[in-house]
Amino acid sequence: MTQDGRGKVAVLGQGYVGLPLAMRAVEVGYEVVGLDVDESRVERLLNGDSYVEDISSQELTEALASGRYLPSADYADVAGFDVAVITVPTPLREGIPDLTYIEKSTASLGAHLRAGATVILESTTYPGTTDELVGPLLESVSGLRPGSDFRLGYSPERIDPGNKTWTFVTTPKVVSGVDAASLEAITAFYDSVVDQTVPVRSTREAELTKLLENTFRHVNIALVNELAVFAHALGINIWDAIDAASSKPFGYMRFTPGPGVGGHCLPIDPSYLSWQVKRTLGTQFRFVELANDVNDHMPDYVVRRVIASLNSRERSVKGSRILLLGLAYKKNTGDARESPAVRVAQLLLDLGADLRACDPHTVESPRIPPASMVELSTSELESADLVVVLTDHDSFDFELVEQHATHVLDCRNVPTLASSEVL
Ligand SMILES: NC(=O)c1ccc[n+]([C@@H]2O[C@H](COP(=O)([O-])OP(=O)(O)OC[C@H]3O[C@@H](n4cnc5c(N)ncnc54)[C@H](O)[C@@H]3O)[C@@H](O)[C@H]2O)c1
C-alpha cells in the first residue's frame, strides 16, 4: 500500500472532482497520472492552465514542476498504478442513469490492473454500481477477482466548489470496500490525503450516503422554493420567516429559495436513486419526483415575476432591456452546467427580451449569445428596464446596482439591495 506517499496513483477524469484529488495526492508525495480522454483539457493541464476554480494555475504549475504529476490522455500511462480513483461523469440520459463513462474508464483501467492494486469509484451513482458493474467489468478485462486479487471500494466525493472552509482535505470522507482488506486499503489511502475518514459497512451504504445527502438538500430547497411562491402570493416575506426560523438552535436547518437548482449534483443525483427504486421495487420515490417538479419550475416562476414586474409598468418582455446578474448555478463559482439561470435567460430570449447577462466567473455561457454578455457598469444598469439577480457572487458590486438600477428583482435576497423586489 502507498500510505507513505511514494506509490503511483491514477485519477481517471480531471474535472471538478478529479483534479483537486490529483493535486492533493501530488502534494502529499504520490506520483500521479491525471488521465482524461478530453485532449484539450490535458493540453491545458500540461500548460499549467487550470479550468477548475478551486485549483489555481500556480498550484497546477507547482505540481507539474514537482515531476510527480503527469496529465495524460493515454491509458498506457496508468500502467503500474497502486491506487486508481474513478471520477468520471455520471449524467442522466433521458432521465435514466448514463453509466457509459464509468464503463469505458473501468474497461480501459482493467487492462492495466495488477494483483494487489486498489480501485476506488468516486463518481456519484446508484447503490450497487461498485460491486455489480465495476467489479465484474474489471474482472472480465483483467482476469483478477475483486477482494481476493485486488482491492475495490467506493468513496463518495463531497467537494463543494468555492467553499474555502470545507475543502477536499477538511471534509470528512466516507470510505467503503467490497471486503475487509479493501476497506483497510482504501481507508489508508484517504487517511493520507484527508483529515478524517468515515468507514461504512459496504459499498452500497457508501453509495447511498451520497444520494441521501444530495436528496436531502434537493428536497429541502424544493420545500422553501414552493413556500416562496405561496408566501409571495400571500404577501408574506419568506426571507424574514427563514431568518426567524434559523434562530432555532435545534431541529431546523436553513435552506433558501432561488431560481432553481443546478450543477452536476442536485438536478441529477436524486434521480439515480428514484430510478433505482422504480426499477428494483416498482415504486415511485415521491419526495424526489415532487422536488424535481418544484425545482424544475422555478425558472418559469422567475420569468412570471419578470413579466409581472414589467407589466406593472405597462411594459412587455418583448423589447425590454433585461440585465441578468449571474449565470452560474452557485455563488462564487463559474459552473453554469444545468444552471437555472441559463434556463431563465433562454425563456426571456424566447419572449423577445433585449437580454444582457453578466457573470465574471462563468467562462462559457451555454446557449447565451456571446453578444449579450456584458460587464457590470453604471450604463448597463441604467439602461436596463429590469435587473434580475440570479446568482449573488461576492464579486458583484451590489452597491452600484442599488444606486443605478431602476428596478431589481432579487432572487437571492442580497442585503445591499434594500429597495429591490425579492423572489
Ligand atoms: N462537481 C461537483 O461538485 C461534484 C461533487 C461531488 C460528486 N461529483 C460527482 O463526481 C463525478 C465527476 O464529476 P465532475 O464534476 O468532476 O465532472 P467533470 O465533467 O468536471 O469531469 C469529469 C472528467 O472526466 C473525463 N472523462 C470522461 N470519460 C473519461 C474516461 N473514459 N476516462 C478518463 N476520463 C474521462 C471528462 O473528460 C471530464 O474531464 C460525477 O459522478 C459527479 O456526480 C461532482
Sequential pLDDT tens for the chain (423 residues): 444 557 999 999 999 999 999 999 999 999 999 999 999 999 999 999 999 988 999 999 999 999 999 999 999 999 999 999 999 999 999 889 999 999 999 999 999 999 999 999 999 999 999 999 999 999 999 999 999 999 999 999 998 877 889 999 999 999 999 999 999 999 999 999 999 999 999 999 999 999 999 999 999 999 999 999 999 999 999 999 999 999 999 999 999 999 999 887 888 889 999 999 999 999 999 999 999 999 999 999 999 999 999 999 999 999 999 999 999 998 988 888 789 999 999 999 999 999 999 999 875 666 777 778 899 999 999 999 999 999 999 999 999 999 999 999 999 999 999 888 999
210 three-class SS: helix
> Is the separation of the CB atoms in 306 and 386 below 8 Å?
yes
CA–CA separation, 350 vs 377, rounded Å?
Answer: 25
- DSSP codes of every residue in 54-114: TS-HHHHHHHHHTT-EEEES-GGGGTT-SEEEE-----EETTEE--HHHHHHHHHHHTT--
Binding site membership of 20 for ligand 1 (Cβ less than 6 Å) = no
Compute the distance from residue 122 Cα to the ligand 1 centre, in Å.
Answer: 9
CA–CA separation, 64 vs 377, rounded Å?
Answer: 39
Residue type, 25: A
Q: Starting from the edge strand earliest in sequence, which strands make up the sheet with 118-121, in order? A: 69-72, 31-35, 8-12, 83-86, 118-121, 151-154
Quick one: pLDDT at residue 1? 46
Question: By alpha-carbon position, which residue is closest to atom 20 of ligand 1?
Answer: 15
| Neighbouring C-beta atoms of residue 115, cutoff 10 Å | 11
Quick one: pLDDT at residue 2? 46
Longest dimension (CA), the chain: 73
Q: What phi and psi values does residue 414 have, to the nearest 5 degrees?
A: -70, 125
Binding site membership of 168 for ligand 1 (Cβ less than 6 Å) = no
By C-alpha distance, which of 86, 63, 173 is closest to 137? 86
Cβ neighbourhood burial of 230 (10 Å; 0-12, 13-18, 19+): exposed
Quick one: pLDDT at residue 363? 59
Catalytic site residues? 265
- Give residues with Cβ within 8 angstroms of 217, minimum separation 6: 255, 266
By C-alpha distance, which of 20, 25, 203, 177 is closest to 10? 25
First to last CA, the chain: 53
Would you state the cell numbers that stand for residue 118, as one nine-digit string?
486498489
> What are the C-alpha distances in Å from 188 to residues 4, 105, 181, 196, 314?
10, 24, 11, 11, 65
Strands 197-199 and 173-175: parallel
pTM over 0.85: yes
CA–CA separation, 157 vs 98, rounded Å?
Answer: 18
Tell the residue number behind the cell numbers 470510505, with chain if given: 175
Task: For ligand 1, pick from 12, 23, 32, 36 the residue to mutate: most ligand atoms within 8 Å of CB.
Answer: 36
Cβ neighbourhood burial of 394 (10 Å; 0-12, 13-18, 19+): exposed
Compute the distance from residue 112 Cα to the ligand 1 centre, in Å.
Answer: 21
| Neighbouring C-beta atoms of residue 141, cutoff 10 Å | 16
Question: By alpha-carbon position, which residue is closest to atom 24 of ligand 1?
Answer: 13
Quick one: pLDDT at residue 24? 97
Length of the chain (residues): 423
Quick one: pLDDT at residue 364? 61
Compute the distance from residue 216 Cα to the ligand 1 centre, in Å.
Answer: 22
CA–CA separation, 389 vs 227, rounded Å?
Answer: 19
CA–CA separation, 391 vs 126, rounded Å?
Answer: 30
Binding site membership of 12 for ligand 1 (Cβ less than 6 Å) = yes
3-state DSSP percent of the chain in helix, strand and coil, to 5: 40, 15, 45
Residue type, 417: L
Question: By alpha-carbon position, which residue is closest to atom 41 of ligand 1?
Answer: 123
Q: For 36, how many CA atoms within 13 A lie in the half-sphere containing its CB? A: 22
Compute the distance from residue 310 Cα to the ligand 1 centre, in Å.
Answer: 41
Would you state the cell numbers that stand for residue 94, as one nine-digit string?
433521458
Binding site membership of 358 for ligand 1 (Cβ less than 6 Å) = no
Compute the distance from residue 25 Cα to the ligand 1 centre, in Å.
Answer: 17
Atom number of ligand 1 nearest to Cα 101:
28
Would you state the cell numbers that stand for residue 290, as one nine-digit string?
415532487
Quick one: pLDDT at residue 34? 98
